[in-house]
């Protein structure tokens, strides 16, 4: 099915470029299709990785022609952020002990991809008050921005942008705290726990809200909570229990995020003795 979707998208995209007389209408339809594809179910990580590069390049090309298409901008920003996290930054972590130099190269690439995601998001957001239909875009832009900062410790000018990333996430949260069934609340918790001078009690409240909104069924939120709160506190028992909850939550959920979070949770569980 993934290959069929790619073939359809390729044909539509190529055809749209050939029909210059009605480019705007066709590209708008292609943009709609591409935005929908970003939500397609897929639990095969290698297949998703192979398909993602084509999808992202095509989506970028269409977005350049349709810069005001908020749904496509959101899909592109989310796509680059997820690709970097799943297939570059995570791979760097797994490679670190075997080849530190190669791991560093992957981290640098991940930072560039996060910056690319952030740039797409910021262009689409523009200036002025954040609109309700831009909350998802702001969420992914702030996520990419914070991730870029986390991998840019040697670039003070990038690290200095952390307050702006925090402010963007806070603006989105103020408009729709329930967004993503807890995903945005979890982002707020993660950012609060990791920012200089962050309040752990406030981070805990954000994560409690995220768990309530997701009804405890989000593997991503369990993993984020374990890494943001239990691990820095040296609480091995809670860390292990929350990762086990993540693995259980991912069972039966056929989507890329759940599959990735199950894999990450299992990887972290295998490294308990190294982490504590």
pLDDT at 41: 61
- Considering the domain boundaries, does residue 246 fall inside one? yes
Q: Which residue in 211, 259, 203 sits closest to 231, CA to CA?
A: 203
For the residues 222-248, what does the mean pLDDT come to?
98
- Considering the domain boundaries, does residue 229 fall inside one? yes
Mean pLDDT across the chain, nearest whole number? 88
- Considering the domain boundaries, does residue 259 fall inside one? yes
User: How many domains does one find in the chain?
Assistant: 1
What CATH number has the domain bearing residue 264? 1.25.40
Residue range(s) defining the domain that contains residue 203: 180-270
Q: Which residue in 254, 196, 192, 258 sits closest to 225, CA to CA?
A: 192
H/E run at residue 70: helix 70-84
pLDDT at 45: 73
The tokens describing 235, both together, are: 């609480």
- Considering the domain boundaries, does residue 239 fall inside one? yes
- Considering the domain boundaries, does residue 124 fall inside one? no
7 falls in which pLDDT band (50, 70, 90)? very low
- Considering the domain boundaries, does residue 241 fall inside one? yes
Cα R_g (the chain), whole angstroms = 19
Q: How far apart are CA 114 and CA 133, in angstroms?
A: 22
Kindly report, residue by residue over 35-85, the tens digit of the pLDDT. 566 555 656 777 778 878 888 988 898 898 888 899 999 999 999 999 999
For the residues 253-265, what does the mean pLDDT come to?
90
Residue with tokens 């190294």: 274
For the residues 162-178, what does the mean pLDDT come to?
98
- Whether residue 18 is predicted with pLDDT greater than 50 in this model: the reply is no
- Considering the domain boundaries, does residue 228 fall inside one? yes
- Whether residue 159 is predicted with pLDDT greater than 80 in this model: the reply is yes
- Whether residue 271 is predicted with pLDDT greater than 60 in this model: the reply is yes
- Considering the domain boundaries, does residue 136 fall inside one? no
For the residues 95-111, what does the mean pLDDT come to?
97
């Amino acid at each position: 099915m993934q290959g069929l979707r790619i073939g359809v998208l390729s044909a539509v995209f190529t055809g749209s470029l050939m029909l210059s007389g009605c480019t705007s209408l066709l590209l708008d339809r292609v943009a709609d299709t591409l935005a929908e594809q970003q939500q397609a179910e897929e639990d095969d990580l290698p297949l998703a990785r192979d398909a993602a590069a084509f999808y992202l390049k095509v989506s970028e090309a269409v977005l350049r022609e349709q810069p005001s298409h908020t749904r496509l901008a959101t899909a592109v920003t989310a796509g680059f952020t997820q690709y970097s996290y799943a297939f570059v930054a995570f791979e760097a972590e797994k490679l670190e002990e075997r080849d530190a130099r190669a791991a560093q190269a992957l981290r640098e690439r991940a930072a560039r991809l996060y910056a690319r995601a952030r740039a797409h998001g910021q262009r689409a957001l523009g200036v002025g008050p954040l609109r309700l239909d831009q909350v998802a875009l702001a969420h992914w832009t702030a996520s990419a921005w914070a991730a870029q900062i986390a991998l840019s410790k040697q670039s003070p000018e990038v690290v200095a942008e952390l307050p702006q990333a925090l402010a963007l996430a806070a603006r989105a949260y103020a408009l729709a705290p329930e967004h993503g069934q807890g995903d945005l609340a979890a982002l707020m918790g993660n950012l609060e726990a990791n920012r200089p001078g962050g309040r752990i009690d406030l981070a805990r409240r954000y994560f409690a809200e995220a768990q309530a909104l997701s009804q405890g069924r989000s593997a991503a939120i369990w993993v984020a909570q374990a890494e943001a709160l239990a691990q820095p506190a040296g609480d091995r028992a809670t860390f292990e229990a929350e990762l086990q909850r993540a693995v259980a939550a991912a069972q039966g959920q056929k989507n890329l995020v759940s599959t990735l979070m199950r894999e990450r949770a299992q990887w972290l569980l295998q490294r308990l003795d190294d982490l504590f």
